[in-house]
Amino acid sequence: MEKIENTGGMRRFATLAVKLGTSTKTNDRLEALEKYFSEADDADKVWVIALFSGRRPKRTVNTSLLWEWCRELTGLPGWLFEESYHTVGDLAETIALLLPEGPGGAGMGATGRESSTGGQGVKVRTGRPDAGAEGPGAVDGAGAGRSEGSRSLTDYLLRLAGLGKEEESSKKAFVLECWATMNSEERFIFNKLITGGWRIGISQKMVVNALARSARVDAAIIAHRITGDWDPATTTFSALLSEEGGGGELSKPYPFYLAYALEEEPAVLGNPAEWQAEWKWDGIRGELIRRGGELFVWSRGEELMTEKFPEYQAWRERLPEGVVLDGEIIGLGQGGQPGEDADDDSRAGGYAANSDREEDARASEPRRVSVVGERDSNRLDFVPLPFAALQTRIGRKNITKKNLQEVPVGFIAYDLLEYEGQDWRNRSLTDRRAQLEAIVRSVNHPLLQLSPIIPFDNWEQLATIRQLSRELGSEGIMLKRKSAVYQVGRKRGDWWKWKIDPLVIDAVMIYAQKGHGRRSNLYTDYTFAVRSGDQLVTFTKAYSGLTDKELAEVDAFVKKNSLEKFGPVRTVRPELVFEIAFEGIAASARHKSGVALRFPRINRWRKDKTPAEIDTLEDLKRMLAVYGK
Amino acid sequence: MPLIEFTDKGLYCPQGGFYIDPWRPVAKAVITHAHSDHARAGSEAYLCHRLTMPLLLWRLGVTAEAVQAVEWGEPVFMNGVRVSLHPAGHIIGSSQVRVEYQGEVWVVSGDYKTEDDGISGAFEPLQCQVFVTESTFGLPIYEWKPQPVIFSNIQDWVIENKERGKASVLIAYSLGKAQRLLSCLEPVTEKIYVHGAAWNIHQVLVNSGVVLPAVERVMPEMPRELFKGQVVIAPSSAEGSPWMRRFQPFAVGVCSGWMQVRGNVRRRNADAGFALSDHADWKGLLGAIEATGAEKVFVTHGFQATLARYLNERGIAAAEVKTAYGEDEEGGEPEGVAVEDQAAGGEDADRGED
């Protein structure tokens, strides 16, 4: 078997990862990344970019095997291993903490940014001889046994990637050998590389910015270059950042422009005439790319999803060459009619006329807009299906005819990023939109829809229209500045999402479980119930939404009021009432309550309410009837 | 009748008529150490180590007449029961309580750590039939690095902060950790500034003859420039409080065994976490328990269920016991100290609770 020595590359990466994981300030993280990019091997940099932009290598070693080997090495009983895991909240870290001391010094380095020192070559500065520290002799040279090999991060990752086909015994030999030569911090990172699931708080944007700074290239250019389908195993750093790029060029998407949530009233945006309003759709953000005679579909998670949506191939021939559309991948039900009905302009025109008439009639009255009136003007030509429907499609490896019939997936287009092979992002939204409309109309297919523009004259009126969101299967309204270019990443100023208020229900907490990562060792994951007669029926799990102080308070309550313990789950006295907010509700056969919620979270702690005052299953069913289409 | 019973007031020796670390007022209380979850006010008479006494007087407001101080190993007889205190290595003055009657020996550990920190006295393994042990860090994930390694990490961190023009604010318990850190910090900083809470304890100890490196109390009128690149020791109650603003720019390092787990460092929003604990780690607990040769082990505050189960599986009869020690059932380090520090901190206390 290939021998892997312990390393500079791994250590450098471990130092970076730990620093990123504990830094509390964005600037410190950026600085750490920048430092890494200016010092590390080019090959390693490519892997780091891949790892931090979601291009994780496939898992080749099962976590239960890691678990087993660690138990074997430590001799700990399974229950104690599990208990440890529930306290740490992360398998990779648990194993790193439990393994017998490696050559890299005693145990896990102090968790924090000082850990760059690792466990090597300890020198304690002693002041007064009687001051207590034992002096350097005791542990100096703790790292003496380390081999000074210089395996890179790349070597580890390639070796790991290759393990997939190998026998369990050779997987084991490799992992055990790595563990044996690593210190606790490196083991943690190494385990993380195997298990995945980093919660390191690094956005792709941050990686882009750090790269831009160290390579002195514009961030938008970097963002475009590291987007799309490239393989870190076959891409060099210079190729990745060079103009030409690699073979994935044809399918390369543009980085998405993301909106910020509008926290205030839209009046702060100024003149309504400068803004374009559209519905906010509850699907998956996607890019549709037609290049070289082929059609590619990218999701916001930068996943190539072309295969998942065979219905899109129907437009391959109809879309002009060199076109990139930005829009929503979404289930579309009956009602989408190609032809004249889909003509957005005529609808907008109709509305304008209507509104003029109204104004004539009520010239002397204060302006009042009724929801009913807006309902007609904002009728859709298609029926967006709830996100839950789309989920039944994206989770599947093989898509059957039945799937295609039950949940046809369409694309609601709202922007044009490339036309005739030219990057159009620097043109105004108005220009892009005009061309987009022409393209979508020429395709003329019921599953390819234009995101309708919501006509409005003033913010009040738009607020009224917004009340229709849920009815139309939308999450609220998007506001885009008509003169704005298409930017990169999440930027304030030109795009805003003005979401509708969530649905809410008051419920009582009945189970609690310890959280993970930042929340490990605290009971932070809760299950809630509503009343049904004299029974409590669980209907959702929810976490987040509480302040750290409230979390601590609930945690203390859980510890004092546990009725039963099932592994990590505690049944607690049903006393604490919370308002649960959610974005949507759907029927579900899998849940006891018969409903499944979309984005459930704790809105607030209703300390003013007793469990007797919580909502009922009937209330949930009513919501299902109204919004659960 | 067992030599020691577990009652709702605390550990009670019926033959000797005394309690050990009672959490309600009693006639006679033997105190292991001065942390507030072990030493409580209201009892009529106290027995403790010589160095615990001044802390009790200062913190509990009891009179000197009510407190009897002894040296380690010096026996006291109560109705035929021989009681002696022995170093527990937890904080200055902290002691295990050895109780002997008619050849039966029990040892109550209080809080302890097995590594000699240089100021608390080296933990003394005692032979006994029954051992009452704490279990604050009773999980195998807790394995401390040797003190010199952690000190070296802290020193590197302080130096790095200094180079960046930042003050280093170390969050540490005012009684115990704050004194333990001084020898680590002294070589790498000109001045060690402390919060009023740590200052008061420092004064009490120095006045009782304990030799400690000099510290300076943070005073409201001190100009901000004074703290530039210096070291500050503060209790956890000061973390994130307006009191901290005067040190800007600064980095916060939390010194606690809980920092062993990354999630806790992030949850505290600390810039660095140092797993420096005054409690025994997993191996320390197991080693101490084995060294007693005890036939029966009672496990108190911390991961008592876990440790008791593990001991039983290894053939050491063990049972868990509920006490009022530790902050909660999961075994918090005595945060109570820090909360009390608020009152002691006087004008420095800007924040109500932690």
Identify how many contiguous H helices and E strands chain B contains and give both numbers: 8, 19
Check CB contact of A625 with chain B, cutoff 8 Å: no
Q: Could you give the CA distance from residue B81 to residue B13 in angstroms, rounded to a whole number?
A: 9
CATH code for the domain defined by B5-141+278-323: 3.60.15.10
Please answer yes or no on whether A133 and B310 come within 8 Å at the CB atom: no
Closest to B350 measured CA to CA, from B193, B341, B223: B341
Cβ–Cβ below 8 Å for B259 and A93: no
Distance of residue B306 Cα from the nearest chain A Cα, in angstroms: 7
Q: Supply the CATH classification number for the domain A1-120+147-250.
A: 1.10.3260.10
User: How far apart, in whole angstroms, are the C-alpha atoms of residue B85 and residue B248?
Assistant: 45
For residue B114, pLDDT over 70 is answered with: yes
Chain B CB contacts of A114 under 8 Å are 153-154, 156-157, 160, 253, 272, 274
Decide if A133 and B151 are in contact by the 8 Å CB cutoff. yes
Distance from C-alpha of A599 to C-alpha of A364, rounded to nearest angstrom: 45
Confidence label for A372 from pLDDT (cuts 50, 70 and 90)? low
Q: Do A22 and B265 touch (CB under 8 A)?
A: yes
Q: Tell me A119's DSSP state.
A: T
With contact defined as beta carbons under 8 Å apart, do B244 and B271 qualify?
Answer: no
Asked whether the predicted pLDDT for residue A56 surpasses 80, the reply is no
Report which secondary-structure segment, H or E, holds A330. Answer: strand A323-333
User: What is the reported pLDDT for A339?
Assistant: 33
Q: Please report, to the nearest 10 degrees, the dihedral formed by the alpha carbons of residues A335, A341, A347, A350 taken in order.
A: -120
Q: Is B119 on the interface with A (CB under 8 A)?
A: yes
* A610-623 mean pLDDT: 89
Paired with A566 in beta bridges are A569
Say if residues B255 and B151 touch (Cβ distance below 8 Å). no
- Phi, psi at residue B16, to the nearest 5°? -85, -15
Contact by Cβ (8 Å): A327, A382:
no
Nearest residue on chain B to A561, judged by CA atoms? B329
Check B263 against A518: CB less than 8 A apart.
yes
Q: Test A24 with B119 for CB contact under 8 angstroms.
A: no
Q: Are B113 and A106 in contact (CB under 8 A)?
A: no
Q: Is B11 on the interface with A (CB under 8 A)?
A: no
Q: Hunting for tokens 């790095």 — which residue is that?
A: B160
Q: What whole-number distance in Å separates Cα of residue A266 and Cα of residue A602?
A: 26
CATH number of B147-276: 3.40.50.10890
Task: For chain A, say whether B241 makes contact (Cβ under 8 Å).
Answer: no
Please tell me which residue of chain A has the smallest CA distance to B180: A132
Q: What are A21-36's pLDDT values in tens digits?
A: 777 778 888 889 999 9
Residue A273 confidence (pLDDT) above 80: yes
Q: Chain B 41-60, CB below 8 Å of chain A: which residues?
A: none
Please list, in sequence order, all residues whose beta carbon lies within 8 angstroms of the beta carbon of residue A231, skipping any fewer than 6 positions away: A55
Using the predicted structure, report yes or no on whether residue A144 has a pLDDT greater than 60: no
Going by DSSP bridges, is the β-strand pair B296-302/B272-274 parallel, antiparallel, or unpaired?
unpaired
Of B151, B264, B273, the CB nearest to A124: B151
What CATH number labels A257-499? 3.30.470.30
Cβ atoms of A210 and A34 within 8 Å: the answer is yes
Q: Which tens digit of pLDDT belongs to each residue from A184-239?
A: 888 998 998 898 766 566 777 788 888 888 888 777 777 777 777 788 888 888 88
Given pLDDT bands bounded at 50, 70 and 90, which one contains residue A320? Answer: very high
Q: Quick one: pLDDT at residue A23?
A: 74
Specify the CATH superfamily of domain A503-627. Answer: Nucleic acid-binding proteins (2.40.50.140)
Residue of chain A minimizing CA distance to B211: A131
Min mean pLDDT across A27-41, A79-93, A105-119, A512-526 is at: A105-119
Half-sphere exposure of A620 (CA within 13 A, CB side): 30
Using CB atoms, pick whichever of A84, A106, A108 lies closest to residue B146.
A106
Q: Which residue of B has its CA nearest to A97?
A: B141
Q: Where are the domains of chain A?
A: 1-120+147-250, 257-499, 503-627
Mutate which of B136, B147, B153, B330 to disrupt the A interface (most A C-beta within 10 Å)? B153
Residue for token pair 């005692």 = B126
If one counts every other C-beta atom within 10 angstroms of the C-beta of residue A481, the result is: 18
> Which of B116, B215, B262 has the most A C-beta neighbours within 10 Å, making it the best mutation to test the interface with A?
B262
- Flag whether residue B139 sits within 8 Å of chain A, measured between CB atoms: yes
The answer to whether B246 touches B181, Cβ cutoff 8 Å, is no
Residue A342 pLDDT class (50, 70, 90 cuts): very low
Percentage of the residues of chain A whose pLDDT score is greater than 90: 32
Q: Is the peptide bond preceding residue B22 cis, with omega within 30 degrees of 0?
A: no
- Which of B67, B117, B63 lies closest to B88, judged by CA? B117
Q: CB distance A520–B264 less than 8 Å?
A: yes
Three-state DSSP state, A65: helix
pTM: 0.68
Q: How confident is the model at residue B128 (pLDDT cuts 50, 70, 90)?
A: very high
pLDDT over 70 percentage in chain A: 80
Burial class (CB in 10 A: 0-12, 13-18, 19+), B290: middle
* Ranges of each domain in chain B: 5-141+278-323, 147-276
Phi, psi of A260 (to 5 degrees): -90, 155
Q: Are A330 and A311 in contact (CB under 8 A)?
A: no
Rounded Cα distance, A72 and A62, in Å: 16
